Structure 1
Amino acid sequence: MEQKKKRKELKRKLLHKYRLVILNESTFEEKISFKLSRLNVFVTGTLMIIGLIGFTTLLIAFTPLREYIPGYSSTALKRQATDLTYKTDSLVAVLNYTNRYIENIRQVLSGDIETSQINPDSVYESIKLEPSQIDLSPIREDSILRAEVALEDRYNLFEQPTFDGSILLFTPLSGTISQDYDPDYKHFAIDIVAVKDTPVKAVASGRVIFSEWTAATGYVVILKHDQDLISVYKHNGSLTKEQGSIVRAGEVIATVGNTGELTTGPHLHFELWKDGNPVDPENYIDFN
């Protein structure tokens, strides 16, 4: 009974009407009047507070004011910092390559190259040898090797092309090779395991002919180089170059990721194609 009386009293207080009147101070003329209750004041105040909080949140989230809040960094600044990091890494690689090239030129010009191991007389002696004096019959090991090579070539679906040596191929990524090139299982690439977001670099200068997302292999970028050489980079976490862009050897083009349906962890699926045929990248690039 006591509890019921308290509820009624509370309800009466909440719903009891009050009149708010605004008067003219000189004439006491009533200008505006409102009928209010404590419940109305409470609900109205709560809604105003919620609306103010929502408006402030939207104002901070979608206007430049957020950059003035400590600890709330700008997305554009983060992206710019990431791009600068990639460019710095690319410039360091190009600088190291340039320094090695200049050092080689300096050695050639200054004559610092060791030539003591070269015996000029050996060339002359080889010319003097008579073929009839040399035993050219194949040894047993040589015959076995020739038979194995012939057997492999018999079932080889692709003719392995060669380069003329004018293209210097860089390592796209330093890491552990988890799966080798295996055409028998239609794995025309090597998989290189590395830490996520590690920069992926172009193996040679060329043009980006594809830079998009695919469902099976995630973010993919494909470069076309001289001598009908094409390099393919799959399962990237992000791409830094767009289709049609010109890239230089050693320049960052993507980051290591784990995207696409056909991936089991952060790695780079790297393919190398010559004249429309896949080749083993380890035959042309030193991954050690």
Structure 2
Amino acid sequence: MAKNNLKRKKFTRKLLHKYRLVILNEDTFEERLSFKLTRLNLFVSLTLSAIILIAATTIIIAFTPLREYIPGYSSAHLKRQATELAYKSDSLQQVLKINNQYLSAIKDVLSGRADTTGLSRDSIFQNPIMGEEIEPIEPSRADSLLREEVAQEDKYNVLPAATDNIDFSLFPPVKGSISETFDAGEKHYAIDIVVPKNTPVKSVADGRVIFSEWTAETGYVIIVKHQYGLLSVYKHNASLTKEQGESVLRGEVIATAGSTGEYTTGPHLHFELWNEAVPVDPEDYIDFD
């Protein structure tokens, strides 16, 4: 017991034994600084310094941008940029789907199969229809038979289906001789008017351009939507003077006649008139002589 007490006292004396740390000028041996030290206060000072250093490092890593330079930590800028790119990617996918719908609708118009009453890029943006979000419903057998019967009866009976609501005068797009007339039975839903090349093509009424592009089959095509569900289509143009989305006035030049596209035999205007999504004979409404 006495031996243990002796060892403890000896250890305590070592901890509390005083030392002096002196800093001298090497050339003159002049004393610059001196410190009284013991093993105990040196140990305490080093421990406190280590704790402070660890705490400061933790704060820097957790609350300052310096953590970005430590391997394993991601950059806040990169995270923000990744989030913005994810939003942009989602928006672009949405716009791509809407544009595909719009181009599909335009394709149906050019081929004479479309319902054009709602053909507008703006209306598509306001009320987009995503095909994959609509649950398909299989028609019953009775419904399918009725639809087929009605389709066979009305296969070429397109004119009576149109409502004769064109109660305003239409301006002739061009003046010239008609080389091919409107024939629903032959699915020629237009008239072909022979005119010299670069003849100005004019809008038949006030409206808005919903399509103004080049197509391989019919060359430069421009489609104008008017009031009362009326749609006018001008094909095989040499050039277009209006772009999609622009408003046009009655009699305003929107293109120049030509002979562009695969389905053409010479300078002429292929002109279609659609009333409530049904093709009608333009000669019933416009004098081309």
Q: Which TM-score applies when normalising by structure 1?
A: 0.45
Largest Rg, 1 or 2: 2
Q: Which TM-score applies when normalising by structure 2?
A: 0.45
